[in-house]
Structure 1
Amino acid sequence: MAFAKLHCVQSLQQAQENQQTDALIVIGHFAAVEDEKLAKAINVAQQSDHRVGKETLLVTQAEVPGKRLIVSPTGPLNRDFDDVRQVFDAAARAAKIAQDAGARHPVLMLNAVDINDPRYQQAHLAAYLGFCQALYQPLEAREAHGEEAIEPTTDVTLVGALDADWAMAIEAGKRVARDLAGTEPERMAPPRFAEYCRQAFAHTPVKVSVIDDFQQLQHEYPLAAAVGRASISVERHRPCVIRLEYKGSKPERTVMFAGKGIVYDTGGADLKVGGHMAGMSRDKGGAAAVAGFLKTVAEVQPSHLNVIAEIGAVRNSIGSDAFVADEIITGHSGKRVRIGNTDAEGRLVMADLLSHLREEAAASDLPSDLYTVATLTGHAALSKGPYTALVPNGYARRQQLAQQLFDSGESYGDPAEISWSRREDFDFVKGHTLCDDLLSSNNGPSATTPRGHQFPMAFLVGVSGLDAHGIDSDKPINYVHVDIAGSGIEGGDWQHGKPTAAPVTCLAGHYLR
């Protein structure tokens, strides 16, 4: 797995001593330039091109590596709404220009970015991650053309204090997440999703196990099996559950994830029409992010954590055996679920995963944090825009877990916003008759349903048995539902956009630093 290897130095002079460096990228606000020689070079460039310092541009400069100077402005960084993503974005813009110009080992340097400001303490990391995000190419493209041909930048030297191993561990996880989220539905059908995980975690401390026997899935994961029912006749589309498990040497806490891995979502019997099916190979972004975070865990190898993930890799196909609205299906927890809409399949896949994890958490002596991570609702994208939506249960709210994740996201440039669950959400998913305990969803679009991204959290609490572990119980358990429908893809272009790997960086910043 190739991406630009990071080298960190303390000064520009040290970077220039490396004969391989072949471009200098300067990122920041150019109202003032801190380095005297650089200030002179930029001033000379501005005399012939007034855009220098205002737009991302390459200019020829004899005294910098490769005679290539790329000036990439962030704009002002002191306003109410400024944040470290401006550094990330400026690095991404510059990376593409540098690579297209032929640079293979550029130098990254910040200018006038106050790393003592809490907003910019992770600015050096943001610059490296933005650089890598821009140069990432999809898995299918790398397999077709070769990594060296389309990802030729091999190294980057960063001027500043940053732990290179830590930064590359995050990027390794983000790369796994982007590969799994962005790859087309045949290349990343459930069995091949599982095989990618086996390869990604080979020779690491993360144990990978796969359940792909359909009878076992029906018994242990009946709601997920129902979603995958119409895909069984096509062997390469058959569903599976992938378990990833990391054990720390001195664990103080267990972090558990249920990941939505819908490798393709036709909508099922409630078929997506009017062109809305395009891009639904990215409906596995939650599972991809979970696997990506485990990859970072595998690289960092924290002693203080156990991390367990269960991923439901399922294709929601249409066919004669497709599950339909009005069916009542008993989940792993014993709760009877009336299907409201087959296009609300992701919460069904995660329900049994979460129920299994809830049992483990309840039986453990260690405190546990449980998460569901999913590209779940259009409502999250509509109400939160490009931000991850966090919906905590009462205990996670009391323990300030959502606030801690929010703070991590702000610091690391992987931002989230908090939504609270309310009694209306739990009322919304109550069963309507004595036949059923819960309703999976209404039969309208989430984007036009009031509280459309909050009520699925209430459903997941009820269907998994977590309602027995609230603040009123003897064994309360932290739980946060994470909806990345708005944050998972650049620009919200689900068919063509590049996956962002949200919230891998946020989770890494919270749990691994």
Structure 2
Amino acid sequence: MLKIQFKKTDFKATKADLGLVFIPKKNLKQKWIDSKNFKNFGYEGEGIFLDQQAHILYVGVQDLNVDALREASFQAVNFIRKMPFKNLKLGIYGDNEIMQGIFLGLLLGMYEFNQYKSKKNIPTLKEIFIVNEGITKTIPKNLEKDISTAEILAQSLILARDAINTPPEDATPLFLAELAQKIAKENKLTCKIGDEKFLAKEKMGAFLAVNRASVHPPRLIHLIYKSKKPKAKVVLVGKGLTYDSGGLSLKPADYMVTMKADKSGGCAVLAIMNAVAKMEIDIELHGIVGATENMIGGDAYKPDDVLFSREGKSIEVRNTDAEGRLVLADCLSYAQDIKPDCLIDFATLTGACVVGLGEYTSGVMGHNEELKTRFENAATRAGELATKLSFNKHLKKLIDSKIADICNVASSRYGGAISAGMFLSEFIREEYKDKWLHIDIAGPAYVERDWDINTYGASGAGVRACVQFLLDFIKKD
């Protein structure tokens, strides 16, 4: 992680290997910036311009808002990370929220998943100097605290990304359980790990069925953080499919690649627990992860099977590749016993959500429109894309079963993200209907290209949005 230092000197007087300057198109000429070379090189505030003579990296932005500066910071560090610069200096570009966004971009620009490479590119950049000059003339109050928050978010996102990117040969349910124990030890959290005997005792028949063909035993992970004076009790549930072959409803080869990322919801929950504990938010927070594989074999659960869930409802299986909702059904049942003020699940649940919203946007579902709006707004403020999807009474009919209480897939290919959310709703008790949110992160969880402040692969989707939601939730409640 980059080291951050505050300097009382101005931009020109501060010694550094490189200066980082953001240039809005509307204002190429700024008093504190030497822009004499702009005309010589034809620079008009677009893209990145490295002035080697002045040792300044100019990064063009559309505007000096938090979203533009966060992404520009990421691009800047990503650009120079392989260059021989040990430190860089940076001015002040706005209030604490803007500066926090800038530093989150800078810190994540250093990220690369290279654990499995024989030759690793080790960045030389180690320090960032914040100088007492810029768009505003003084360093904002409490900036150190907000930058510390950026460091916590970056570290938590990297934790999630590393876990999601780890291949399935290593990232088994036991791997996730050990990661949870490590997080618990580091942050003094309570950690409970339930094995297959525990799941059987809890009558989690749907969860156990998904695991049947795997050589790796399942685990139910339960982390607990409780501040001294919690203002609310919230439970998070994450889908932790460490690999999803589709089961007997086998995925095509091209669709099986990247299924190591089907644990993204569970990894997001672990990362949120880590961030909330380090930020010492006044809340009681529970993180529950259903960790298993969905494989093929002689003991695999089958289309036509009828499973019995912890909540007591029977489920007709018509497609074994709709397994995440089976695991979540039992985990959500377990979560409601904790009697939360708010219950949120995160899952890479449906390809239909990606088709409908694209790769970069999460779907927000539930019965409480105000709660959905609050999460959507929190995501926007945190720099994530999320949009509300509405339940539809006509789609509900598509998951009816002739032989069981409910079917695990809809009888139509259309509206799959919503019908999957409505399936989960069947396992939410009446008193928690208005307290529950379902977040489908199938689109942004894992993208095979750089985008926004994310490198190739896992993004940690849901982490920033949820942390912001929790901060807002305890303020209002």
Is the aligned partner of 1:437 residue 2:420?
no
CA contact (8 A) 1:52 1:71 kept: no
Provide the rounded CA distance (Å) in 2 between the counterparts of 1:219 and 1:425. 34
Instruction: Give CA deviations for 1:354-383 in whole Å, capped at 9, x if unaligned.
Output: 00111221xxxxx61101101111111121
Matches for 1:40-79 after TM superposition, within 5 Å: 41-42=34-35, 44-51=36-43, 53-62=45-54, 68-76=55-63
Is the aligned partner of 1:22 residue 2:5?
no
Matches for 1:133-212 after TM superposition, within 5 Å: 133-138=108-113, 140-141=115-116, 150-158=122-130, 161=140, 162=143, 163-212=146-195
Alpha carbons of structure 1 residues 246 and 402: separation in structure 2 relative to 1, 3 Å: same
Provide the rounded CA distance (Å) in 2 between the counterparts of 1:46 and 1:360. 61
Alpha carbons of structure 1 residues 437 and 134: separation in structure 2 relative to 1, 3 Å: same
Letter aligned with residue 408 of structure 2:
S
RMSD over aligned CA atoms reads: 2.6
Counterpart in the other structure of 1:106: 88
Alpha carbons of structure 1 residues 499 and 37: separation in structure 2 relative to 1, 3 Å: same
Counterpart in the other structure of 1:461: 425
Matches for 1:369-408 after TM superposition, within 5 Å: 369-385=342-358, 386-393=360-367, 396-397=368-369, 400-408=370-378
Pairing partner for 1:130 from 105, 117, 123: 105
Counterpart in the other structure of 1:364: none
Is the aligned partner of 1:300 residue 2:275?
no
Instruction: Give CA deviations for 1:117-159 in whole Å, capped at 9, x if unaligned.
Output: xxxx7322222222222211226248x667xx63543333345
Pairing partner for 1:283 from 230, 255, 262: 262
CA contact (8 A) 2:99 2:147 kept: no
Secondary structure of the equivalent of 1:197? helix
Instruction: Give CA deviations for 1:249-282 in whole Å, capped at 9, x if unaligned.
Output: 1122111111001111100000011421111101
Letter aligned with residue 467 of structure 2:
A
CA contact (8 A) 1:122 1:411 kept: no
Secondary structure of the equivalent of 2:286? strand
Question: Deviation at 1:200?
Answer: 2.9
Provide the rounded CA distance (Å) in 1 between the counterparts of 2:447 and 2:73. 15
CA contact (8 A) 2:237 2:332 kept: yes
Provide the rounded CA distance (Å) in 2 between the counterparts of 1:165 and 1:257. 24
Structure 1: gaps of 5 or more residues: 63-67, 78-82, 116-120, 362-366, 471-475
Alpha carbons of structure 1 residues 408 and 314: separation in structure 2 relative to 1, 3 Å: same
Total equivalences in the alignment: 456
Alpha carbons of structure 1 residues 139 and 274: separation in structure 2 relative to 1, 3 Å: closer
Question: Deviation at 1:228?
Answer: 0.7
Greater shift after overlay, 125-134 or 255-264?
Answer: 125-134
Letter aligned with residue 435 of structure 2:
N
Question: Deviation at 1:504?
Answer: 1.1
Alpha carbons of structure 1 residues 211 and 454: separation in structure 2 relative to 1, 3 Å: same
Letter aligned with residue 164 of structure 2:
A
Structure 2: gaps of 5 or more residues: 132-138, 473-477
Counterpart in the other structure of 2:134: none
Alpha carbons of structure 1 residues 255 and 151: separation in structure 2 relative to 1, 3 Å: farther
Provide the rounded CA distance (Å) in 2 between the counterparts of 1:246 and 1:312. 18
Question: Deviation at 1:26?
Answer: 1.6
Is the aligned partner of 1:354 residue 2:354?
no
Letter aligned with residue 357 of structure 2:
K
Question: Deviation at 1:413?
Answer: 0.9
Provide the rounded CA distance (Å) in 2 between the counterparts of 1:479 and 1:330. 22
TM-score (norm 2): 0.88
Counterpart in the other structure of 1:261: 240
Instruction: Give CA deviations for 1:58-115 in whole Å, capped at 9, x if unaligned.
Output: 21244xxxxx2111112246xxxxx74322221111002222222232234466xx75
Provide the rounded CA distance (Å) in 2 between the counterparts of 1:34 and 1:255. 49
CA contact (8 A) 2:157 2:271 kept: yes
Instruction: Give CA deviations for 1:183-226 in whole Å, capped at 9, x if unaligned.
Output: 111221111121122223323132222112x2322332221111
Pairing partner for 1:482 from 414, 424, 439: 439
Is the aligned partner of 1:311 residue 2:312?
no
Letter aligned with residue 72 of structure 1:
V
CA contact (8 A) 2:410 2:419 kept: no
Letter aligned with residue 175 of structure 2:
R
Counterpart in the other structure of 2:136: none
Provide the rounded CA distance (Å) in 1 between the counterparts of 2:276 and 2:338. 20
Letter aligned with residue 307 of structure 1:
L
State, as a whole percentage, how many aligned pairs show the same letter: 25
Instruction: Give CA deviations for 1:424-472 in whole Å, capped at 9, x if unaligned.
Output: 2332223323xx111111377xxxx22211111111121x2x24226xx
Provide the rounded CA distance (Å) in 2 between the counterparts of 1:252 and 1:125. 25
Letter aligned with residue 52 of structure 2:
T
Provide the rounded CA distance (Å) in 1 between the counterparts of 2:58 and 2:11. 20
Alpha carbons of structure 1 residues 185 and 16: separation in structure 2 relative to 1, 3 Å: farther
Provide the rounded CA distance (Å) in 2 between the counterparts of 1:185 and 1:92. 29
Question: Deviation at 1:491?
Answer: 5.4
Question: Deviation at 1:341?
Answer: 0.8
Question: Deviation at 1:246?
Answer: 0.5
Question: Deviation at 1:167?
Answer: 1.5
